[in-house]
Structure 1
Amino acid sequence: MNHFEKIAVQLESYGLDAILLTGEANRFYATGFHSMGTDGAALITRKKNYYFTDARYTEAAGRCIQNAQLRETGHGHGYADLLAEVVSSDHIGRMGFEDACMTVQEHARYQKALSCELVPATELLWKLRAQKDPEELEALTAAQRIAERALEDILNDIRPGITEKEIAARIQYRMLHYGAEDKSFDPIVVSGPNGSLPHGVPSEKLIQAGEFVTMDFGCVYHGYCSDMTRTVAVGHVTDEMREVYQTVLCAQKAGIATARAGATGREVDAAARAVIDAAGYGEYFGHSFGHGVGVEIHESPNASQLNDKPLPERAVISAEPGIYLPGKMGVRIEDVLFLTQDGCQNLTKAPKELLVL
């Protein structure tokens, strides 16, 4: 899977002759080939595609990348040198670059080496990546199914006396076991009073009866991420725990009911936030309703108070409201949604009614 053609079609409307992709996520999106960090660069022109890399990746890139000319860097001919040759031979006058991720040092080096104008063009990629095609949706759904299989197994392991770290480690193992390429991010497993930390780090704390356990995790499959959160109780729950859980669940359902292509991110966020506010927990919901999911675990568009733009059709966003009571507990429930003109398709199938293990 590559997106050379989709990118090339957009160049004229942005007034570009070519676009240079040096960031890991956009390189993968364009080429379908993954390499770490700064180990590679893709150049898409209106007529040709190029991929530059070093000897460590040349063979692998050649096996994977289609419809692009592969050129190898080496001593005396680095990325800037190879790009300069193409700029000259292909008469490139305006080249887009990823202003959101290129370093000042990299920009200065390319500006000095290339006889063309460098034009900020991150938005071009963000807009394209926001709208998923069928192959992308298939990969995202498969990643979600893998995470859900891992969750099914982990529910059998959660009991008093096991640590947060142990649960996190087992989640990672099970996802890899079921076919994941990697984790989307370091799993969050927090219990009891640690649950009030939305992005808490799994610790040596022992899980105890009468506590919530919140697990936020996902995996990568064919380069695309899954993301989900489930909060379960161990042994028994108090009335307050049940109230908090049901409030979050109702808030999530309200946001999902509002989520559709054309609704603004602010509107979707507000639908969920209104439920939490009405229950008296408004000050304990500090993050947004959701974010885009795709090649990266956090990408455009966002369902947040700050986004007053319409959400695009075929976007994939998370649905993850939460309530976090400092020193007491936290609850978050997260699904992933595929937006359509009529509403949304929930890609997450795992049950989310309150579960007491």
Structure 2
Amino acid sequence: MFSKRIETLRKVMAERGLDAVLLQGDVNRNYMSGFKGDESYSIITMDKAIFITDSRFTEQATQEVKDYEVREYQRPFEAFLDKIVKEFNIKKLGFEENVLTYELYNSYKEAVSCELIPLNGVIETLREIKCEKEIEIMRKAQNIADKGFEHILKFIKPGMTEREIGLELEFYMRKLGATGLSFPSIVASGVRSSLPHGMATEKVVENGDFLTLDFGVVYDGYCSDMTRTIVIGEPNEKMKEIYNVVLKAQEAALKAVKPGISCYDLDKIARDIITEAGYGEYFGHGLGHGVGRVVHELPMVNFRSKEILKPGMVITDEPGIYIPNFGGVRIEDIILVTEDGYEVFSKSPKELICLK
């Protein structure tokens, strides 16, 4: 798997006239190598792959990284990098422009005797299409999240705080095998549910509240992501109306997922339904995003993106309505684009759940 990724990268390097690529961001480096640690580097030339780490990770790298020569370096890294550049006669070295700080870039530029060329998202683009192994891992990651939702529905009671609910959800999912959260869980109730990224607070959950739960886990290096909005007690008519509009928009977009549709058009399907219902001004974010080794990655599914969906992409479908001083609703599934349509990873029910 990793040797195939390296060969794919080399084709792009050849097209761009690069002699080598330096990867030091944890996500891209590990995606290309299989390493599970951090604070390491990899350099890929047209005929050599070198994994570079220090004494803390040398043994681990030797065990996990099979398609690279593992080398141990002594600080400063800049001096070691310059030796590699000279050893392999590297004239143009691609780097992750979204990883290197301005300070570090200047340090490399001063110490390394080659031209530094920004990669412009090369690895991120490669990561868009998931292989079968990645897809299976992501199914398992989402299965943990679905089981977490099933558990938390039995746990939630009026009088609990949002923080209590979030902690219980995290603890339960970790017991199921999650190594962490995809992002800090969003647990927002009552009027706070109008906050699209409302983190859990000490607010008490009360009867008559919307409760939005947006969460996911990391499992074997890959993320899951889902959102469900429920009601504590009985919803009023406006709550039912808003929920049903969001559900209609979410399901319409879902049914349109297939190879060849643009991210812009997919977003428009859901956005038009919400706008026609009179709530367009309350849907301010994009319909979704790619998911993989991080919870937000390419492609971006929004009204600015003309990218075309392809088989193997994993995206979210998560329209919402957020009304200040009233509350909000978001419903989110995580979806695989297949050869002829889609597969929904998230299995949790989407009809309005009222906890009494």
TM-score (ref. length: structure 2): 0.96
Q: CA deviation at 1:67?
A: 1.2
State the partner residue of 1:52: 52
Kept after mapping to 2: 8 A contact 1:183/1:220: yes
Partners of 2:70 and 2:90 lie apart in 1 by 18
Kept after mapping to 2: 8 A contact 1:294/1:316: yes
Which of the numbers 266, 270, 273 marks the counterpart of 1:272? Answer: 270
Is 1:261 the equivalent of 2:225? no
Q: CA deviation at 1:286?
A: 0.6
**Structure 1 vs Structure 2 CA RMSD:** 1.3
State the partner residue of 1:82: 80
Give secondary structure in 2 for the equivalent of 1:288. coil
Q: CA deviation at 1:10?
A: 2.6
Kept after mapping to 2: 8 A contact 1:20/1:97: yes
Which of the numbers 144, 147, 150 marks the counterpart of 1:149? Answer: 147
Runs of at least 5 residues in structure 1 that lack an aligned partner in the other structure: none
**Deviation sequence 1:55-74 (CA, Å, 0-9, x none):** 22222122111111112222
Opposite residue 27 of structure 1, the aligned amino acid is: R
Opposite residue 15 of structure 2, the aligned amino acid is: S
Pairwise mapping of residues 160-175 of structure 1 onto structure 2 (< 5 A)?
Answer: 160-175=158-173
Kept after mapping to 2: 8 A contact 1:258/1:267: no
What percentage of residue pairs aligned between the two structures are identical?
41
Give secondary structure in 2 for the equivalent of 1:122. coil
Is 1:314 the equivalent of 2:316? no
Kept after mapping to 1: 8 A contact 2:182/2:218: yes
Q: CA deviation at 1:91?
A: 1.8
Kept after mapping to 1: 8 A contact 2:36/2:64: no
Opposite residue 256 of structure 1, the aligned amino acid is: L
Kept after mapping to 1: 8 A contact 2:317/2:332: yes
Kept after mapping to 2: 8 A contact 1:7/1:30: no
Kept after mapping to 1: 8 A contact 2:290/2:297: yes
Partners of 1:135 and 1:33 lie apart in 2 by 16
Partners of 2:79 and 2:96 lie apart in 1 by 19
Give secondary structure in 2 for the equivalent of 1:189. strand
Give secondary structure in 2 for the equivalent of 1:210. coil
Partners of 1:95 and 1:261 lie apart in 2 by 34
Which of the numbers 277, 297, 300 marks the counterpart of 2:298? Answer: 300
Which of the numbers 186, 189, 203 marks the counterpart of 1:188? Answer: 186
**Deviation sequence 1:28-61 (CA, Å, 0-9, x none):** 111121334xx11111111111111222222212
Opposite residue 17 of structure 1, the aligned amino acid is: D
State the partner residue of 1:16: 18
Partners of 1:131 and 1:14 lie apart in 2 by 21
Kept after mapping to 1: 8 A contact 2:315/2:335: yes
Pairwise mapping of residues 96-135 of structure 1 onto structure 2 (< 5 A)?
Answer: 96-135=94-133
State the partner residue of 1:6: 8
Partners of 2:325 and 2:143 lie apart in 1 by 33
State the partner residue of 2:32: 30
Partners of 2:188 and 2:340 lie apart in 1 by 36
State the partner residue of 2:238: 240
Partners of 1:226 and 1:6 lie apart in 2 by 26
TM-score (ref. length: structure 1): 0.96
State the partner residue of 1:352: 350
**Deviation sequence 1:300-348 (CA, Å, 0-9, x none):** 1011001022223311111100011111111101101111342221111
Which of the numbers 207, 210, 214 marks the counterpart of 1:209? Answer: 207
Partners of 2:350 and 2:44 lie apart in 1 by 44
Give secondary structure in 1 for the equivalent of 2:234. coil
Partners of 2:96 and 2:210 lie apart in 1 by 42
Number of aligned pairs? 353
Opposite residue 70 of structure 1, the aligned amino acid is: V
